[in-house]
C-alpha cells in the first residue's frame, strides 16, 4: 500500500507533466488553425477559387475571305483535336504514351508537345493532335477518365475552297510561332492559326476577331463541372476582295504550265480582278501541317511557286516601256507624233553598235511615232532616249507608277527600279553612260518593273492619265465600303490604322495632255489591230465585237553575243529555258472605251508575241465575263455579313 | 496483500463509464457525417461500412471492458509475444500493399500486426513497470528490458517500412516510461541520442519516399505538382474554410477532388473546409474531453498496471489526433496516421476501440489492488 501510494503520487505528478505537454501541443494546433483559418484565410480562399475556377478562352470564328461576288475563298471547317493541360496530367510523357495507344502520335508531335510544355504556363492547353477523324476523336472521348489532363476539343480549321488558284492572293494561316506572340492570349490557344501570307496575313487582326471567355468550375482533373459565366467574343470581320474567282480560275488554268504572272485590273478604280502567279501551291497543305519533304520541294522548285510573281517578280519591261519614252518625248516637246527616224537595223554610238530587233531584215525603214510603237522599232527609241536623257524618262516612268510599291494588301510587294543618273552614281560610283540611256529607251538596262506596276502603267495610259492605284480588297476592317473613290476621304483614318492599304484617294490626274495620250493609245491599238503590229496575229476574235490594244515586250535575260546575232536567231529550241527572254504583253480593252487593263509576263517565254497570244485568251475571258458589268456583293454591310455568335 | 473485489457482470456493466462511450460515439458520428459528405451525399461506400465497423467495435470494446484487468496483466507478455511473432511473420511472408509490407494474411482477414503491437507494447510495458518498485526504476539494468521491449518492434516496423507507426510506438513507450517514473535526465539523454542519430538515419534508414516527405514538409512548394501537392491543397482547403466553413457538403476543395485522400488521412481537412474554425475546435474539444476522461480513469485506478495501461492507451490516442491534425495543417511531414474514430478504415477503428475497451476495463476494475507479483500474490 505504502509503496503503491508513492508510485501513485509519482504517476500523478508525471501525469500532470504529460497532460501539460499535451495541452501545449493542443494549443499549438489551435494556434495553427487560427493562423490558417483566420489570419491567412483570405489568401487561401483566393487560392481555392483559383483552383476551382478556370478561365477558358473562346476562340472567335475567323472572318471569311470572299471574292467580289461573295464567293468564299477562305472559310472555316470543323477540326477535331486533342489538347493537353500539363498541370493536370500525371506526367506529360506518360500521358502521351497512353494517348499514343489510342491515336497516332509520331515522335515529331511528341517532341513538340514536350517542348511546348516547358515553354508555356502549366495551365495553358497544348495541342497534341488535330484533324482527327471522327472515329479517333470518339475513341479519345471514351477513354477520357483514364487520361487526366487530356481534353478533346472541336476547333475550326481554315479551308480554302479554291486552293491553288487563289493561294497567292488569299495566302494561308499556320501555327503561331514564338515570334508571333504579342501578348494576345488568343495566340496561346492550342491550334490557333495566324495569317502567314497574303490577305490572311495583312488582314489578320480584323479577320481574327475578339476572344470571348468562359468562367467554368473545374475539378482537380480539369473536368468542367459547370459554367459560371460566359462572355461571348466577336467573330472576325469578313474581307471582300476585288477578285473575280471565275476569271482568276480561268487565267490560272491558262497559265498552269508556265512560269508566269498575269494581272487584270479595273483601269478606273484600280480594283484587281485577277492576279495570277504560276506555278502556285496548295494553301490547305500549310494548314494541315506540311512534311519537311513537301516544304523542301516547294522552296527548291526552280519556278518558285511560293513567290507571287505578280508583285514580287521584277522584270525589265522591255518594249512595254516604249509608251513611257514616247509620251515623255511628246510632253517634253522634243518630238511630235510626226517625228520620223530611219531604221536601218543598227546605229553606232562611239564604238558601240545598237541594234533593232529587226536588224537582220534590214530594219524598219522610215517610221513615225505610232509606227515605231506598233512595230516596236528600237532605233526610233534610241533616238528619243538620246534626246530625252535618262532623267526625263525616269520622271515620266514614275508618274505612271513604275519604281514604287503601291501598298497592295499583300506581303512582299517589290518596288521595281527606275534608274537615274544620281541613282547610278550613288549605287555604283560610276557615272551614267550614254549607251545606258539608249537601252533604257527600250526598257532594258537597269529598269525593272513588276507585272502589277506594268498593269498600273497601262491602266493610267488607258484611263486618260489618272493616277489610279491598285487594290485587292473592297472592304476595310471598319466595315465600310470603299466601293467608289468619292467616299474614300472618310476612310483615311482607318487606312492609317490598318496600315495594310495606303490611302486610296480618288485618282488624281497625272497631268499629261489628252492629245498626247491619244497618240500613245492609238499606237497601242495598232500593235494589235494594225497591219504591221507586232501582235497583229492576236487581235480579238470578231464575234466579241470589240478590240484590244496592247504592247509586246521582250526582255533580255542576258546580253546577246555577236555570234548569236550573226546566227540570226536569239531563240532556238536549243536555248536553255533559263536563258530565254521574258515575254511581256500589256493590254487594255475595249479600244475606245477602255475598262480593263491586263499584263501577262511569261518568264523565259521567248518573245512578247507569246505573251500576246496568252493575253488574247485572257482578254477574251475578261470581256465575256465582264466582271465590272455585273453587280458585286452588297457592300452596305448588312445582308451578307452576319455577326456570328460563338 | 490486497483487498480482492469481485464484481458481478451487472455490477461491471453499471461501472462502465458510459459518458466516455457517449463521447467516443459522438466523435464517430462526426466521422459518419464527413464520410457521407466525402461520398457527395451518399451513405455508400464509406459511411455505411464505417457504421457497421463501429458497431462491431463497440461490442468488442464492451466485451473487453468486462474482462478483469488482472487477466490482461497476466497475459500481457503473451499478447506482446504474439504481436512480435506477427511482426516477424509480416517480415517473412507479409502482403505487399502500397509499396510497403504491413499486412499478414490470416486467411479470413488481413491483419496489420503493427496495429496489434501498439496495444501489446502498452500492455507489456505496463506489466513490466507494475512489477518494478519505484526504487529499482532508477537502476540502469532495469532499463535494458523495456529498451528491448520497445526497440525490437520499432525496428521491425521501421523495416516494413512504416515510419508513422514506429514514431507512434516510440512516443507512446516514452510516455509510459515517463509515467512510470523514469528519471527525467534519462529522457534528456535519449532525446540527445535521437537528435544525434537523425543524420545517420537520414543516410542509412530512411527510404527515398520518406526523405521526399520530409523535404516536401520543409518546403511544400518544392514540387507543387508532386509530393507537395497534397499538403498545399490541404492548407488551401483548411484556410479557405475560414471561421464558419463553406457549409456541409459545400467544400469545393474536397468535392472537386483537389483534396487527396479526403475520406482517410485528410478527412480533418474536409471538416475544416466545410465547418471552419468552429468545427475544428468542436472536434478538438471532443478529443480533449475523451483524453481528459481517459487520464482521469488512469489516475483513479488503484493499481499501477491500470494506471500505466490507461495512460499509455490515451497517449496513443492523443498522438493519433495530434500527428494527424499537425500533418494536414502542414506542421509536420506527411505520415500515414489516420484521424482516430473519424477516418475511414477498419483496422485502426478496431484497434482504437479495443484500446478503449482496455481503458474501460481499467475503470471497471479501478479499485482492484494488485500485488507486484500477481502470479504469486493471487
Q: Is the peptide bond before B45 cis (omega within 30 degrees of 0)?
A: yes
- From the list A15, A45, A87, the residue facing B295 with the nearest CB is A15
Cα–Cα dist A519/A522, whole Å: 5
Looking at chain A, how many residues does it have? 646
- Distance between CA A439 and CA A435 in Å, rounded? 7
Q: Check if the beta carbon of residue A328 is closer than 8 Å to that of residue A344.
A: no
Please check whether residues A162 and A273 belong to one and the same domain: no
A582 and A521 share a domain?
yes
Distance CA A450, CA A364 (A): 30
- Chain A contact for B236 (CB, 8 A cutoff): yes
In this predicted structure, what is the pLDDT of residue B95? 61
Within chain A, how many helices (H) and strands (E) appear?
A: 23, 19
The residues of chain B scoring below 70 in pLDDT are: 1-5, 94-110, 216-227, 373-378
- pLDDT value at position B109? 57
Residues from chain B that touch A21, judged by Cβ atoms under 8 A, are none
Instruction: Report how far residue A306's alpha carbon sits from residue B260's, in angstroms, rounded to the nearest whole number.
Output: 55
Task: Give the helix ranges, DSSP H, for A476-575.
Answer: 492-498, 514-529, 562-567
H or E element that contains B76: helix B69-93
> Hey, is the C-beta of A10 within 8 angstroms of any chain B C-beta?
yes
Per-residue confidence (pLDDT) for residue B101, from 0 to 100: 59
Cα–Cα nearest to A643, from A351, A234, A279, A276: A234
B243 vs A: CB within 8 A: yes
- A147 vs chain B: nearest CA distance in angstroms? 15
C-alpha distance across the termini of chain B, in Å? 9
Judged by CB atoms closer than 8 Å, whether chains meet at B272 and A4 is answered as no
The secondary structure of A326-356 as a DSSP string is HHHHHHHTS--TT--EEE-SEEEETTEEEE-
A224 contacts A217 by C-beta, under 8 angstroms: yes
Residues A540 and A405 in one domain: yes
Nearest by CB to A22, from B240, B291, B303: name it.
Answer: B291
Q: What is the pLDDT of residue A250?
A: 92
- State how far residue B19 is from chain A, nearest Cα, in angstroms: 20
- B132 has a chain A CB within 8 A of its CB: no
Q: Do A220 and A335 reside in the same domain of the chain?
A: no
At residue B102, the pLDDT reads 66
Say yes or no: A250 and A234 in one domain: no
Q: Quick check: bond before A93 cis, omega within 30? A: no
Distance CA B316, CA B303 (A): 20
A494 lies in some domain: no
The cell numbers describing A139, all together, are: 475513341
pLDDT tier, A314 (very low <50, low <70, confident <90, very high otherwise): very high
Are the CB atoms for B347 and B117 separated by under 8 Å?
Answer: no
CB B370 within 8 A of CB B70: yes
Q: Is the pLDDT score of A572 beyond 90? A: no
Q: Is residue B56 part of a domain?
A: yes
Query: Taking residues A235-264, what's their average pLDDT?
Result: 91
Q: Which B-chain residues 162-181 have CB contacts (< 8 A) with chain A?
A: 175, 178-181
Q: What element of type H or E holds B179?
A: helix B163-180
pLDDT the model gives residue B34: 95
* Residue A554, domain CATH: 3.40.710.10
Report the gap between the CA of A192 and the closest CA in chain B (Å): 27
| Widest CA span in chain A | 153
Distance from CA of B81 to the nearest CA of A (A): 27
Please indicate if any CB of chain B lies within 8 Å of the CB of A16.
no
Give A7's pLDDT tier (boundaries 50, 70, 90): confident
Closest chain A residue to B318, measured at CA: A22
Query: Is A481 labeled as catalytic in the residue annotation?
Result: no
pLDDT averaged over every residue in chain A: 84
Q: In A, which residues are within 8 Å of B252 by CB distance?
A: 48, 51-52, 217
Nearest to A45 among B240, B292, B298 (CB): B240
DSSP state of A158: E
What pLDDT digit, counting tens, does each position of A372-384 carry?
Answer: 999 998 899 999 9
Regarding predicted confidence, which is higher, A560 or A42?
A42
User: Which residue in A7, A22, A122 is closest to B318 by CB distance?
Assistant: A22
Say whether residue A33 is in contact with chain B using an 8 A CB cutoff.
yes
- pLDDT tens digits for A425-455? 998 889 988 888 988 998 888 899 999 999 9
Residue A334 is assigned to a structural domain of this protein: yes
Which range has the worst mean pLDDT, A175-179, A223-227, A379-383? A223-227
Residue A463 to residue A562: CA distance in whole angstroms:
42
Q: Do A616 and A540 meet the contact criterion of CB atoms below 8 Å apart?
A: yes
b/e per residue B159-179 (b: at least 16 CB within 10 A): ebbbbbbbbbbbebbbbbbbb
pLDDT for residue A235: 86
Number of domains in chain A: 2
Give the range of the structural domain holding residue A620, as residue numbers without chain letter: 245-291+309-469+507-629
Distances, alpha carbon B161 to alpha carbons A392, A433, B226, in Å: 97, 96, 21
- Average pLDDT in the A280-292 region? 80
Residue-level pLDDT at A645: 38
For B91, the domain range is: 9-377
- Say what the pLDDT of residue B103 is: 67
Number of domains in chain B: 1
- Does A18 sit within 8 Å of B315, measured CB to CB? yes
Q: Check CB contact of A53 with chain B, cutoff 8 Å.
A: no
CA distance A94 to chain B (A): 14
| Whether A443 and A572 share a structural domain | yes
Q: At B153, list the grid cell.
A: 518492434
* One domain for residues A184 and A234: yes
Length of chain B: 378
A-B contacts at Cβ under 8 angstroms: 141
Chain B nearest CA to A227, separation (Å): 14
* Cβ-Cβ contacts under 8 Å, B329 against chain A: 29, 32-33, 36
User: Is A47 touching B (CB cutoff 8 A)?
Assistant: yes
pLDDT value, residue A240: 92
**Distance from C-alpha of B302 to C-alpha of B65, rounded to nearest angstrom:** 17
Confirm whether A131 is domain-assigned: no
Q: How far apart are CA A487 and CA A482, in angstroms?
A: 7
User: Min CA distance, B135 vs chain A (Å)?
Assistant: 10
**Pair A102, A139: CB distance under 8 Å:** yes
With an 8 Å Cβ cutoff, are B277 and A38 in contact? yes
Q: Which three cell numbers stand for residue B290?
A: 475523451
Are the C-beta atoms of residues A57 and A141 closer than 8 Å to each other? no
Whole-angstrom Cα distance, residue A221 to residue A238?
38
User: Which residues, at least 6 apart from B145, have a Cβ–Cβ distance to it below 8 Å?
Assistant: B128
- Point out the least confidently predicted range of A153-162, A312-321, A459-468, B15-24: A153-162
Distance CA B331, CA B323 (A): 9
Residues A375 and A331 in one domain: yes
Looking at the structure, tell me whether residues A282 and A181 fall in a common domain. Answer: no
Q: Is A414 helix (H, G, I), strand (E, B) or coil?
A: coil
Residue A38 lies in a domain: no
In a domain, A29, yes or no: no
Chain B, nearest residue to A52 by Cα: B252
Residue B325 to residue A29, Cβ atoms within 8 A = yes
Catalytic residue, candidates A280, A319, A473, A607: A319
Contacts of B180 in chain A (CB under 8 A): 11, 14
Cell matching residue B105 = 494474411
- CB-based contacts of A147: which residues, under 8 Å, 6+ apart? A95, A98, A99, A140
pLDDT tens, residue by residue, A530-542? 888 888 889 888 8
Output phi, psi for A274, to 5 deg: -155, 145
Given a contact cutoff of 8 angstroms between Cβ atoms, the answer to whether A190 and A153 are in contact is: yes
Q: Residues A316, A221: one domain?
A: no
> Grid coordinates representing A278?
504560276
Q: DSSP 3-state assignment of A111?
A: helix
H or E, element range at B267: helix B267-300
Residue B1 lies in a domain: no
pLDDT at residue A503 in the model: 42
Residue B4 covered by a domain: no
Note whether residue B95 is domain-resident. Answer: yes
Q: Do A37 and B238 touch (CB under 8 A)?
A: yes
Distance CA A567, CA A212 (A): 72
Which 8-state DSSP code applies to residue A448? Answer: B
Q: Which residue in the set B235, B242, B307 is minimally distant from A11, CB to CB? A: B307
Q: Is A14 on the interface with B (CB under 8 A)?
A: yes
Query: Are residues A30 and B284, on separate chains, in Cβ contact within 8 Å?
Result: yes
CB contact under 8 A, B238 and A33: yes
Q: Taking the mean position of all CA atoms in its chain, how far away is CA A338?
A: 45
Q: B276 and A37 in contact by Cβ < 8 A? A: yes
Yes or no, beta carbons of B277 and A15 under 8 Å apart = no
Q: Are residues A536 and A617 in the same domain?
A: yes
Residue pointed to by grid coordinates 494474411 = B105
A229 — contact with chain B (CB < 8 Å)?
Answer: no
d(CA B147, CA A399): 108
Rg (CA), chain A: 35
* Residue A215 near chain B (CB below 8 Å): no
Is A19 within the bounds of a domain?
Answer: no
Asked whether residue B86 is domain-assigned, the answer is yes
pLDDT tens column, A581-592: 899 999 998 998
In whole angstroms, give the CA distance from residue A223 to residue A227.
Answer: 11
With b for 16 or more beta-carbon neighbours within 10 A and e for fewer, the A628-641 pattern comes to beeebbebeeeeeb
Q: Provide, as residue numbers in chain A, all residues whose Cβ is less than 8 Å from the Cβ of B240.
A: 41, 44-45, 47-49
Chain B interface, best mutation among A12, A13, A14, A148, by max B CB count within 10 A:
A14
Q: Answer yes or no: do B331 and A28 touch at CB < 8 A.
A: yes
Residue predicted with more confidence, A474 or A39: A39
Around Cβ A289, how many Cβ atoms within 10 Å? 13
* CB nearest B299 (choices: A15, A48, A221): A15
* Average pLDDT value for residue range A309-333: 92
**B272 close to A (CB below 8 A):** yes
**Residue A247: pLDDT band by 50, 70, 90 thresholds?**
very high
* Residue A562: band (very low, low, confident or very high) from pLDDT cuts 50, 70, 90: low
Query: Which pLDDT belongs to residue B96?
Result: 59
Q: How far apart are CA B133 and CA B41, in angstroms?
A: 56
Residue B307 falls inside a structural domain: yes
In chain B, positions 91-120, which contact chain A (CB-CB < 8 Å)? none
Instruction: Name the residue facing A48 among B240, B322, B329 (closest C-beta).
Output: B240
More confident residue, A191 or B121: B121
Whether A37 sits inside 8 A of B239 (CB atoms) is: yes
Residue B357 lies in a domain: yes
3-state secondary structure of A512: coil
- Chain B contact for A133, CB < 8 A? no
Domain assignment present for residue B3? The answer is: no
Per-residue pLDDT, B224: 53
Q: Is residue A299 part of a domain?
A: no
Which residue is associated with the grid cell 452576319? A642
CA end-to-end distance (rounded Å), chain A: 89
Residue A188 DSSP label: G
By the 8 A CB rule, do A476 and A494 touch? yes
Enumerate residues 6+ apart whose C-beta is below 8 A from A30: B281, B284
Same domain, A273 and A313: yes
Categorize the per-residue pLDDT at A643 as very low, low, confident or very high, splitting at 50, 70 and 90.
very low
Asked if residue A576 has pLDDT above 70, the reply is yes
Q: Cβ of A220 and B322 within 8 Å?
A: no
Residue with cell 500500500: A1
User: Residue A455 falls within a domain, yes or no?
Assistant: yes
Q: DSSP alpha helices (H): ranges in A35-133?
A: 41-52, 92-100, 107-119
Amino acid at each position: 500500500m505504502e509503496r503503491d501510494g508513492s508510485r501513485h503520487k509519482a504517476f500523478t505528478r508525471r501525469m500532470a507533466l504529460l497532460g501539460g505537454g499535451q495541452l501545449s501541443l493542443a494549443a499549438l494546433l489551435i494556434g495553427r488553425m487560427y493562423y490558417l483559418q483566420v489570419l491567412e484565410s483570405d489568401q487561401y480562399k483566393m487560392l481555392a477559387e483559383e483552383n476551382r475556377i478556370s478561365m477558358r478562352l473562346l476562340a472567335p470564328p475567323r472572318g471569311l475571305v470572299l471574292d467580289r461576288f461573295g464567293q468564299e475563298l477562305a472559310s472555316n471547317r470543323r477540326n477535331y483535336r486533342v489538347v493537353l493541360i500539363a498541370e493536370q496530367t500525371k506526367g506529360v510523357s506518360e500521358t502521351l504514351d497512353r494517348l499514343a495507344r489510342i491515336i497516332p502520335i509520331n515522335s515529331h508531335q511528341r517532341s513538340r508537345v514536350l517542348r511546348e510544355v516547358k515553354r508555356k504556363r502549366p495551365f495553358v492547353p497544348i495541342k497534341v493532335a488535330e484533324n482527327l477523324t471522327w472515329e479517333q476523336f470518339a475513341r479519345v472521348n471514351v477513354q477520357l477518365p483514364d487520361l487526366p489532363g487530356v481534353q478533346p476539343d472541336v476547333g475550326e480549321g481554315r479551308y480554302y475552297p479554291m486552293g491553288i488558284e487563289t493561294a497567292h492572293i488569299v495566302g494561308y494561316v499556320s501555327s503561331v510561332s514564338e515570334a508571333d506572340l504579342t501578348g494576345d492570349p488568343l495566340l496561346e490557344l492550342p491550334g490557333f492559326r495566324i495569317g502567314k501570307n497574303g490577305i490572311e496575313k495583312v488582314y489578320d487582326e480584323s479577320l481574327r476577331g475578339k476572344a470571348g471567355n468562359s468562367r467554368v468550375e473545374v475539378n482537380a482533373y480539369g473536368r468542367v463541372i459547370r459554367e459560371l459565366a460566359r462572355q461571348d467574343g466577336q467573330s472576325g470581320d469578313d474581307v471582300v476582295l476585288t477578285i473575280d474567282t471565275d476569271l482568276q480560275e480561268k487565267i490560272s488554268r491558262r497559265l498552269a504550265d508556265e512560269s508566269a504572272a498575269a494581272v487584270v485590273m479595273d483601269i478606273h478604280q484600280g480594283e484587281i480582278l485577277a492576279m495570277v502567279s504560276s506555278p502556285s501551291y496548295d494553301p490547305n497543305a500549310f494548314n494541315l501541317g506540311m512534311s519537311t519533304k513537301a516544304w523542301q520541294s516547294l522552296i527548291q522548285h526552280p519556278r518558285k511557286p511560293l513567290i507571287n510573281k505578280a508583285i514580287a517578280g521584277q522584270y525589265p519591261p522591255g518594249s512595254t516601256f516604249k509608251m513611257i519614252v514616247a509620251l515623255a518625248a511628246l510632253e517634253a516637246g522634243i518630238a511630235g507624233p510626226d517625228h520620223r527616224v530611219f531604221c536601218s537595223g543598227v546605229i553606232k554610238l562611239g564604238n558601240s553598235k545598237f541594234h533593232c530587233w529587226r536588224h537582220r531584215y534590214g530594219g524598219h525603214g522610215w517610221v513615225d511615232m505610232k509606227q515605231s510603237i506598233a512595230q516596236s522599232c528600237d532605233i526610233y527609241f534610241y533616238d528619243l532616249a538620246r534626246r530625252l536623257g535618262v532623267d526625263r524618262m525616269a520622271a515620266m516612268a514614275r508618274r505612271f507608277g513604275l519604281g514604287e510599291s503601291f501598298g497592295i494588301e499583300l506581303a512582299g510587294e517589290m518596288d521595281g527600279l527606275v534608274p537615274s543618273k544620281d541613282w547610278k552614281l550613288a549605287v555604283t560610283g560610276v557615272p551614267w553612260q550614254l549607251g545606258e540611256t539608249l537601252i533604257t529607251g527600250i526598257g532594258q538596262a537597269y529598269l525593272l518593273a513588276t507585272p502589277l506596276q506594268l498593269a498600273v502603267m497601262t491602266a493610267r495610259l488607258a484611263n486618260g492619265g489618272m493616277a489610279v492605284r491598285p487594290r485587292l480588297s473592297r472592304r476595310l476592317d471598319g466595315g465600310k465600303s470603299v466601293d467608289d473613290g468619292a467616299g474614300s476621304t472618310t476612310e483615311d483614318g482607318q487606312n492609317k490604322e490598318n496600315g495594310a492599304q495606303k490611302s486610296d484617294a480618288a485618282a488624281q490626274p497625272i497631268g499629261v495632255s489628252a492629245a498626247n495620250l491619244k497618240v500613245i493609245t492609238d499606237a497601242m491599238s495598232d500593235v494589235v489591230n494594225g497591219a504591221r503590229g507586232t501582235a497583229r496575229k492576236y487581235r480579238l476574235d470578231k464575234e466579241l465585237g470589240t478590240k484590244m490594244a496592247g504592247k509586246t515586250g521582250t526582255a533580255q535575260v542576258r546580253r546577246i553575243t555577236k555570234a548569236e546575232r550573226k546566227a540570226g536567231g536569239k531563240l532556238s529550241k536549243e536555248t536553255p529555258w533559263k536563258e530565254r527572254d521574258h515575254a511581256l504583253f500589256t493590254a487594255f480593252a475595249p479600244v475606245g472605251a477602255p475598262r480593263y487593263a491586263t499584263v501577262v509576263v511569261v518568264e523565259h517565254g521567248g518573245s512578247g508575241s507569246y505573251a500576246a497570244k496568252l493575253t488574247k485568251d485572257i482578254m477574251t475571258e475578261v470581256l465575256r465575263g465582264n466582271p465590272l458589268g455585273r453587280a458585286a456583293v452588297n457592300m452596305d454591310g448588312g445582308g451578307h455579313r452576319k455577326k456570328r455568335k460563338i | 496483500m490486497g483487498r480482492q473485489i469481485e464484481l458481478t457482470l451487472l455490477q461491471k456493466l453499471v461501472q462502465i463509464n458510459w459518458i466516455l462511450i457517449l463521447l467516443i460515439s459522438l466523435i464517430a458520428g462526426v466521422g459518419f457525417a464527413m464520410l457521407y459528405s466525402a461520398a457527395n451525399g451518399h451513405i455508400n461506400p464509406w459511411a455505411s461500412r464505417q457504421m457497421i465497423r463501429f458497431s462491431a467495435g463497440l461490442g468488442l470494446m464492451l466485451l473487453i471492458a468486462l474482462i478483469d484487468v488482472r487477466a490482461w496483466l497476466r497475459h500481457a507478455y503473451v499478447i506482446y509475444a504474439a504481436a512480435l511473432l506477427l511482426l516477424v511473420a509480416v517480415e517473412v511472408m507479409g502482403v505487399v500493399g502500397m509499396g510497403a509490407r504491413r499486412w499478414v494474411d490470416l486467411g479470413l482477414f488481413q491483419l496489420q500486426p503493427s496495429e496489434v503491437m501498439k496495444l501489446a507494447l502498452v500492455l507489456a510495458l505496463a506489466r513490466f513497470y507494475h512489477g518494478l518498485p519505484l526504487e529499482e526504476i532508477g537502476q540502469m539494468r532495469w532499463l535494458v528490458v523495456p529498451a528491448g521491449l520497445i526497440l525490437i518492434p520499432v525496428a521491425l516496423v521501421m523495416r516494413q517500412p512504416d515510419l508513422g507507426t514506429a514514431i507512434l510506438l516510440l512516443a507512446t513507450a516514452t510516455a509510459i516510461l515517463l509515467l512510470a517514473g523514469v528519471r527525467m535526465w534519462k529522457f534528456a539523454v535519449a532525446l540527445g541520442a535521437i537528435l544525434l542519430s537523425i543524420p545517420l538515419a537520414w543516410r542509412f534508414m530512411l527510404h527515398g519516399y520518406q526523405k521526399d516527405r520530409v523535404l516536401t514538409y520543409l518546403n511544400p512548394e518544392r514540387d507543387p505538382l508532386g509530393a507537395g501537392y497534397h499538403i498545399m491543397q490541404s492548407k488551401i482547403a483548411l484556410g479557405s474554410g475560414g471561421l464558419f466553413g463553406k457549409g456541409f457538403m459545400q467544400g469545393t476543395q474536397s468535392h472537386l477532388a483537389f483534396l487527396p485522400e479526403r475520406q482517410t488521412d485528410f478527412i480533418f481537412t474536409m471538416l475544416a473546409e466545410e465547418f471552419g474554425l468552429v468545427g475544428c475546435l468542436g472536434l478538438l474539444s471532443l478529443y480533449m474531453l475523451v483524453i481528459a476522461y481517459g487520464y482521469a480513469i488512469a489516475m483513479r485506478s488503484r493499481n499501477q498496471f491500470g494506471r500505466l495501461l490507461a495512460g499509455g492507451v490515451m497517449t496513443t490516442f492523443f498522438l493519433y489526433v495530434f500527428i494527424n491534425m499537425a500533418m494536414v495543417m502542414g506542421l509536420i511531414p506527411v505520415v500515414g496516421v489516420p484521424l482516430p474514430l473519424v477516418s475511414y478504415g477498419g483496422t485502426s477503428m478496431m484497434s482504437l476501440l479495443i484500446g478503449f475497451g482496455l481503458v474501460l476495463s481499467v475503470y471497471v476494475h479501478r479499485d482492484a489492488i494488485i500485488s507486484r507479483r500477481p502470479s504469486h500474490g493471487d
